[in-house]
Structure formats: C-alpha cells, structure tokens
Chain A
Amino acid sequence: MKKKLQVEAICKGTVIDHIPAGQGAKILRRLQLLDSELRITVGFNLPSEQLGLKDILKVENRLFTTKEANELSLFAPTATINVIEDYEVTRKFPMSTPDVLEGGFDCPNSNCISHNEPVEACFRVRKQDDDIRLKCKYCEKSFSKDIVAGI
C-alpha cells in the first residue's frame, strides 16, 4: 500500500525533509532570502517516526548547489535534501557542515566594517557543544548561528 503523502508531491524540484519541528521556519526564511520568487509548499509539525514531529519544505523547480545545501544544513543538521525529477527522488545531498559560510548573511555586529563596504560577510564555522558558532572574518566576533540568521 502506498502511504498517503502529508504534503502534496512535486514534479520537479527539491524536498527538504526531516527538519526538526520548529526549524522549518528558519529554513523557509533563508530560502526566501535566497530567492523571493520561489514556489514553496510548507508542512509544519507533521508526525515523524524518527523525530516525533517534523517540518518539511518542498521547493518547486529549483535545485540547490552543494554550497547552498551545506548552508541549509547549518539550521537543521538532521534534515535531508532530496532532488526530485518526475515525482521521483533522483539524488540526495549528503549533509555536511561547511567550514566557511560566504554571502547571504550579514554580520550581526553593527560596527563591523563589512556593512558599508563592497564585500560580502564571511564566517568561519565551528561546532561547539550543541551549537554552531560563526566567526566573522572581518570583525573576528563569534556568534551563535541563530543570531547570524536573525532568528
């Protein structure tokens, strides 16, 4: 018997699944920053065997680069990113935490030189206990990833 899908299937695109419940909103925000035109189907607090509750995001007609996938994994290390073609999963991104995060995020330090200059903020990524810390290449201040993501 085929299980009924909890969120409507997409023909082509990317499904980010197994996001711990509550983290989906962060990833959604990040996706919208990446591209505000994206067509996204959202499922929050769905039952999950592994996680109890999970969030799921389905992004139509958009494939992520490895760099983008790694950035998303910062927010939900347990999530899986599946590439969908013709309703089938054709590829899974291996999730890994990137060493460096470039562009996309602003440095939370308002006195950091990166804000008013022709450069993109750039962070060195370091795991610390349960948290992921991001250290700005310019001001050398270190922040929890949630602060950098503005959540």
Chain B
Amino acid sequence: MAIPSLYQKDIISIADLSREEMELIVATAEKLKHTPRPDLLQNKVIASCFFEASTRTRLSFETAVLRLGGTLIGFDNGGNTSLAKKGETLADSMQVIGSYSDAVVMRHPQEGAARLASEFTKSPIINGGDGSNQHPTQTLLDLFSIYESQGKLEGLKIAFVGDLKYGRTVHSLAQACARFNCEFYLLAPDALSMPDYLLAELDEQGVKYQCVESMEEVIPLVDIIYMTRVQKERFDETEYKHIASRYILNAEMLTEAKDNLKVLHPLPRVDEINVDVDKTPYAYYFQQAENGVYARMALLALVLTEGSI
C-alpha cells in the first residue's frame, strides 16, 4: 500500500481524508508536540485569510506557523480589507494571494468558499471554516486529543451530548470516528437530535450507535464524552430551564466513570460543564484546545514538506 502523503494537498473537508491520512496527521501532531521543529517552515510564507473573524482559530493557526518558523501574511477580518470594499470575486482574490504564498489558511462566512478557492489557487488551501459547512482542523485536533488520551482511535465508545443537530464539530467528528469502528451514544433534546441524513450515513457504514436518555447511564460505559452547548436561543425560557439541566455535567456525576474517561468540549463552554469538573482527572478540554496548535502544525508541516517529518 502506498504511504499516505499530504504534500501540496488541499485540506477542505474531513470526507476527503482517508483513515490512513488521518492517522498520519495524528502521528505527526504527536511528534511535533514532543519534538519542537522551529525551522521546519523556514523560508515559507503562509497566508492567513480570515474573511470572518474567529479569534481562537486564527490564533491557533498563527501560533502553529510561528512555532514551525514560518512567516505570516494576511488579515483577521475580511470586512476591513480593500478586497471586500472593491467588490473583487473570491476567486480572483485567492488566485492572487495564492501566488504570493506557499500555503493559504482561510476562513469565510459562506459555505463552499474553501473548495472554490482551491480551484483557483496553486498553493494548497487549508480550510479554517466555511460558513456552516466544514471545519476540518477542529475535527483533527479532536481526533488527536482522543488518540493522545486513549492511546488509540480504534473501537472506542464515545458519547456525544448536547446540540447534535447544529453542531458541525459533532457531525464531522462522528464521520471521522466512524472510520475507526467507534461506537456512539447520542444524548440530545428532541429538537436538537442528530440529523437523519447523518444517521443514515452511519447505518450505511454499519456503525453502532444508540440514543440514550441520560448522562448517568452512559458515564460508566464510555471512553470519551464529547460535550457541546445547548444554546438558549433555540428554546423559550421555561423550556430551556427544564431541558438544559439534563445536559450539564458536574464532578459528582463522574464517580462511576472508567479511569480512562476523558471529557472533551470544542470550547467556548458556558455552563454545560461545571467548573468543578476542571479539577478532576477526566477534564481534557484545555489540553484539547492546546492540541489545536499541534494538529495545525502537523497539517502545515505535511502539506509543505515533501519527505517524512
């Protein structure tokens, strides 16, 4: 079998990545976390194009570039640029920016922006979020965090809790973990349950999953709890008060947990994980956020380096 390589590849959607490519990214992230490579991207110029502000994602990407010795150009809010004011198409803007740089990281408020940019740009595009569509680096940092905390990706039991309808991070992580024969427990209010098309996809792939009623029943079973926020805006106030309490995790609930259980959350959290969980050995969401830098370093390194790292 061919050794997977991501050299000069666009990273647009998690669906484009094979299991082997995901494993390569995770393994590279681990290497770079333990062995700094401050000159790997020396003499490389990376464009960081944020047509929509996203402070966390941008800082994480830019830290990744700087930790590998690369140089940054770009902007942090498309609305302030002359590109937006002069009404140029995204296709033209990206063609030009791509010709200045060795790789382009981009975030854009419209779905499909990264795919479109990749068709007009010679340099590889790394999607940092396109509207409500894809955010592959979030999924890759989630995968890395799961791997790091469990020592493997294969055959894990994962509970997804909260907003499983609108949360794109949940959708693509479930799709990614499906390739590793993981088993899912789904806990969400009726109005925010996992969309049918996604369940149909899981069925097609023969993935085992079940919908559950409470966190208490899954906590003793699972290796990972992936928490997301149930947004107030989606309910009226009394309904919200009634519902939200079922999707809040506190330290006491974790007494029955397996030793290896880790709690993940894409952040920012509001109150769905009580701060008393932070001090337990199960909390992993801050390591997860830190891992965002390593996962993005891994991607940049793989996309810009021809040989092995």
Task: Note all chain B residues with C-beta closer than 8 A to A141.
Answer: 111, 133
Q: Is B115 an interface residue (CB 8 A)?
A: yes
Task: Note all chain A residues with C-beta closer than 8 A to B119.
Answer: 119
Which residues in chain B, 110-144, are within 8 Å of chain A measured between CB atoms? 110-113, 115-116, 119, 130-134
Contact of B112 (CB < 8 Å), options: A112, A128, A142: A112
Q: Is B145 an interface residue (CB 8 A)?
A: no
Nearest CB of chain B from residue A6's CB, rounded to whole Å: 42
Q: Is the CB of A113 within 8 A of B197?
A: no
Closest B residue, CB atoms, query A109: B111
Task: Note all chain A residues with C-beta closer than 8 A to B15.
Answer: 140
Closest B residue, CB atoms, query A121: B112
Task: Note all chain B residues with C-beta closer than 8 A to A128.
Answer: 200
Q: Is the CB of B89 within 8 A of A117?
A: yes
Nearest CB of chain B from residue A142's CB, rounded to whole Å: 6
- Interchain Cβ contacts within 8 Å, total number: 54
Q: Interface residues of A, CB < 8 Å — how many?
A: 17
Q: Is the CB of A140 within 8 A of B133?
A: yes
Q: Is the CB of A140 within 8 A of B116?
A: no
Cα A128 to Cα B200 in complex, Å, equals 10
Cα A140 to Cα B116 in complex, Å, equals 12
Task: Note all chain B residues with C-beta closer than 8 A to A142.
Answer: 197
Nearest CB of chain B from residue A109's CB, rounded to whole Å: 6
Nearest CB of chain B from residue A107's CB, rounded to whole Å: 8
Contact of A140 (CB < 8 Å), options: B13, B89, B91, B108: B13
Cα A150 to Cα B159 in complex, Å, equals 39
Q: Is the CB of A113 within 8 A of B13?
A: no
Q: Is the CB of B111 within 8 A of A138?
A: yes
Q: Is A50 an interface residue (CB 8 A)?
A: no
Task: Note all chain A residues with C-beta closer than 8 A to B112.
Answer: 112-114, 136-140
Closest A residue, CB atoms, query B12: A140
Task: Note all chain A residues with C-beta closer than 8 A to B115.
Answer: 113, 137-138, 140
Nearest CB of chain A from residue B12's CB, rounded to whole Å: 9
Q: Is B90 an interface residue (CB 8 A)?
A: yes
Q: Is the CB of B89 within 8 A of A118?
A: yes
Interface centre among A119, A128, A138 (most CB of B within 10 A): A138
Q: Is the CB of B90 within 8 A of A113?
A: yes
Q: Per-residue CB proximity of B267-298 to A under 8 Å, as 1/0?
A: 00000000000000000000000000000000
Q: Is A116 an interface residue (CB 8 A)?
A: yes
Q: Is the CB of A139 within 8 A of B111?
A: yes
Nearest CB of chain B from residue A40's CB, rounded to whole Å: 34
Q: Is the CB of A111 within 8 A of B131?
A: yes
Q: Say whether, besides A137-B115, A138-B112, A117 and B134 are in contact (CB < 8 Å).
A: no
Q: Say whether, besides A116-B89, A117-B90, A119-B91, A140 and B111 are in contact (CB < 8 Å).
A: yes
Contact of A118 (CB < 8 Å), options: B91, B113, B131, B134: B91
Task: Note all chain B residues with C-beta closer than 8 A to A136.
Answer: 112
Task: Note all chain A residues with C-beta closer than 8 A to B111.
Answer: 109, 111-113, 138-141
Which residues in chain B, 80-122, are within 8 Å of chain A measured between CB atoms? 89-91, 108-113, 115-116, 119
26 A-B residue pairs with Cβ-Cβ distance under 8 Å, sorted by A, are A111-B110, A111-B111, A111-B131, A112-B110, A113-B90, A113-B111, A113-B116, A113-B130, A117-B90, A117-B116, A118-B89, A118-B91, A119-B116, A119-B119, A128-B200, A136-B112, A137-B115, A138-B111, A138-B112, A138-B115, A139-B110, A139-B130, A139-B133, A140-B111, A140-B115, A142-B197
The 3 A-B residue pairs with the shortest CB-CB distance, nearest first, are: A138-B112, A139-B111, A113-B112
Task: With A109-B111, A136-B112, A140-B111 given, name 20 new contacts (CB 8 A).
Answer: A111-B109, A112-B110, A112-B111, A113-B111, A113-B116, A114-B112, A114-B116, A117-B90, A117-B116, A119-B91, A119-B116, A128-B200, A137-B115, A138-B111, A138-B115, A139-B133, A140-B15, A140-B112, A140-B134, A142-B197
